[in-house]
């Protein structure tokens, strides 16, 4: 009796890991099939437009994750310090403590990134605005808040790249701790 194909929602975290580990170009349908354990027919059942649809849906998955685990936290009524700590803890989990690459970094030199750039740009802009609001809530000026928000995004993305390149999770973890302590 054939095994039942998993729901699409359970495939998206697997696809996220595949794309951020080996990139878009290296993720052939054969490789995706091998890594998910699903046949090509099952993959096309869930993603009729193929690999492009897979990465597009992974980007939506990540955006939804950001809303639930980062934007919601930053917009909460919690204390400012707690907001940054909760955001950093969520990011620590998403990036496996710095072991997993950022999807943006993995897609940077891919043609698919150009097609999906507006979604990624929008997510980063929302994140920056929410961080800016947190710093303004903490009493920082608008200009200083904007600079701090940008600095945090650069720190997160940059430390992910360095952690991955040097195979040192401690780089990412150390930078997250600095973000948590930024207002102390």
| Inside any domain, residue 8 | no
d(CA 111, CA 113): 5
Checking if the pLDDT of 1 tops 50, the result is: no
| Inside any domain, residue 147 | yes
Residue-number span of the structural domain to which 127 is assigned: 55-180
| Inside any domain, residue 117 | yes
Contact at 8 Å (CB) between 134 and 83?
Answer: yes
DSSP string, 89-134: HHHHHHTGGGTSPPHHHHHTTSHHHHHHHHHHHHHHHHHHHHHHHH
> Mean pLDDT throughout 120-143?
94
| Inside any domain, residue 2 | no
Q: For position 81, which CATH number holds?
A: 1.10.357.10
> Mean pLDDT throughout 49-72?
93
| Inside any domain, residue 94 | yes
Instruction: Identify the band that residue 105 occupies on the pLDDT scale cut at 50, 70 and 90.
Output: confident
Contact at 8 Å (CB) between 99 and 91?
Answer: no
Question: Could you report the per-residue pLDDT of 147-166, keeping only the tens digit for each?
Answer: 999 999 999 999 998 998 88
| Inside any domain, residue 39 | no
| Inside any domain, residue 176 | yes
Query: Global pTM?
Result: 0.86
Checking if the pLDDT of 45 tops 50, the result is: yes
d(CA 182, CA 184): 6
Checking if the pLDDT of 36 tops 90, the result is: yes
Region of poorest pLDDT, from 100-109, 135-144, 156-165: 100-109
| Inside any domain, residue 16 | no
* Number of structural domains in the chain: 1
């Amino acid at each position: 009796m054939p095994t039942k194909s998993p729901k699409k929602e359970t495939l998206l975290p697997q696809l996220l890991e595949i794309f951020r580990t080996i990139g878009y170009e290296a993720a052939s349908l054969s490789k995706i099939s091998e890594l998910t354990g699903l046949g090509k027919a099952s993959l096309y059942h869930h993603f009729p437009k193929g690999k492009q649809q897979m990465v597009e849906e992974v980007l939506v998955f990540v955006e939804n994750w950001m809303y639930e685990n980062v934007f919601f936290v930053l917009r909460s009524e919690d204390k400012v310090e707690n907001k940054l700590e909760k955001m950093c803890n969520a990011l620590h989990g998403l990036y496996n403590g710095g072991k997993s690459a950022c999807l943006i970094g993995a897609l940077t030199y891919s043609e698919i990134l150009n097609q999906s750039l507006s979604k990624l740009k929008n997510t980063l802009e929302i994140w920056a605005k929410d961080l800016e609001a947190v710093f303004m809530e903490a009493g920082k000026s608008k200009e200083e808040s904007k600079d701090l928000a940008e600095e945090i995004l650069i720190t997160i993305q940059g430390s992910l790249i360095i952690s991955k390149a040097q195979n040192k999770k401690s780089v990412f973890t150390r930078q997250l701790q600095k973000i948590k302590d930024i207002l102390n």
